[in-house]
Amino acid sequence: MNPVTETETILATRKKLKEYPQWNSWKFQLQNRIKRENLQNYFVLTEEEKKGISNSIRLNVGATPYYTLLADPFDPNCPIRRTIIPGVGETVISPEESPDPLHEERLSPVKGLTRMYDDRVLLFSNQECSVYCRHCMRGRKVSFNEERMDKDDLDTAFTYLKEHPEISDVVISGGDPLNLSDARIDYILSNLEQIPSIKICRIGTRNLVTLPMRITEELCKIIEAHNNDNLSIFCNTHFNHPNECTSESKSAILRLIKAGVSVGNQCVILKGINDSGEIMLSLHRKLLEMRVRAYYMYDPEIIPGSRGFRTPLAKGFEIIEYMRGKIAGMGIPQFVNDLPGGGGKITMTPKWYYGFHQESRQHLFKSALRGTYHVSPEPIDSNYDEFYEKVDLSLWEKVKNDLKSVHNAK
pLDDT band, very low/low/confident/very high, at 301 (cuts 50, 70, 90): confident
* pLDDT (mean) for 385-398: 95
d(CA 288, CA 239): 12
Mean predicted confidence (pLDDT) in 240-250: 98
Cα–Cα distances in angstroms (integers) from residue 95 to residues 25, 57, 125, 152, in the given order: 43, 15, 31, 38
Query: 43-100 pLDDT, tens per residue?
Result: 999 999 999 999 887 788 999 999 999 999 999 999 999 999 999 888 888 888 888 8
First to last CA, the chain: 74
- Averaged pLDDT, 227-244: 98
Pick the CATH number of 1-349 from 1.10.10.10, 3.40.640.10, 3.20.20.70, 3.30.1050.10: 3.20.20.70
Q: Which amino acid is at 200?
A: I
Alpha helices in 290-330 (DSSP H): 313-323
**Of 75, 39, 31, residue with least CA distance to 211:** 31
What percent of the chain has a predicted confidence (pLDDT) above 90?
82
pLDDT of residue 410: 60
d(CA 67, CA 267): 17
Average pLDDT over residues 139-150: 85
pTM, two decimal places: 0.93
Question: What are the domain boundaries of the chain?
Answer: 1-349, 353-409
Q: pLDDT per residue over 207-233, tens digit each?
A: 999 999 999 999 999 999 999 999 999
